[in-house]
Structure 1
């Protein structure tokens, strides 16, 4: 893996520059530009959430980051699943982003299609999470209107951190009761049967979950984008052409005016580009 953007300014020790002006000692720029496998800690530093007092967080109760993968021709999945577009480096970054998050927000259909399991605790992130006051593993927060969920899945029967289910106050009472009896926590983030995407960040922040990660699917990401709730997009561009009629990474109605995001960083490995954009 190597960093393509931004490259830090080369560091040239004063003494080395004096003794070997034509061959300065390699600095951080050379280390990050070199093609090598980054450690989990290096990736975690590269993808760190903005601090609570960072100006980019002004007026926001939490920070909602999306992690998605796309083929070169814009497909968000192949045969209904994103895994065929992934790779080793993409999965490492996937794990790091989960290792940094308080909660992973995902749509019910994606839970069904991708066979979601509970997030696991990883020893490599244990000290970092403990220092940040986080649980050993992020909670999975499922967005569902009708609560037609398979409550026998490990996501509900074996979570290390209790699974959360986000729904509206108009959700079927019997399903709300069933979800709670299965051990999940039901949170209301909408007045009707569905979830108001603009309320998700605040509702989860009330539970102490301010570092949020959404992994889709496209419909949910489109709702967050349309509501102005998306703060950051981590997009893996896979070196594949998929063709077909697969959905883009974000679906739903078009925004009245396309919203501009600013490029934060670009990493590359084995032809994959790992981009990170923030709301401008």
Structure 2
């Protein structure tokens, strides 16, 4: 079935020799890749060993066709609401398992949700790879025809998912070695675009990333992280809540749907 993939992305520069990322069943080859910056975990960015730079780009490209689940066109909003959890769960599982298959069992993902187009169904934010140097963030939309659209690559390693309390808009925090950038996104012309950026560095006035986030009215988004070192080691998942609490699960945890 035809899939429409609009790509609005960061230009990528992958610096270290980590394994290649998995290819999503619904994602296409992207002409714009993610750069590696910001830590996936709350304040762990300063310990990263890889260096990368995120450059905002306003490039779009057509993607290749993939094989999503088959759906009837023009499904009602209620039908879409019932269907999207299973579609997202299938995509998350596919990407995790494909990444492991391509990297001798090593796989790492983070996923979260945010309704960026205000249609009542959240977009899926999915970061995957093997380490900070090759992480890529893709954003998926479940469209009106119940097809999964990969909107493109919007970042990479050393990143955290956030939102702006003033606008409700999606924000990506990149931070490494005391330097950081907030990338503010808006939904425009059917896809995500970078509307603004804010660069800062840690000092005596701003001793932590969270201090700056509080000052700017930026909140971290609840997200799930899953990791597997090899096939025999099994999968562990962690649910990171905005309030700082964490839950641990055996296996790939897929019950969270935003």
TM-score range, shorter chain: under 0.3
Which is greater in Rg? 1
**TM-score computed with the length of structure 2 as normaliser:** 0.27
**TM-score computed with the length of structure 1 as normaliser:** 0.26
> Could you say which structure has the higher strand fraction?
2
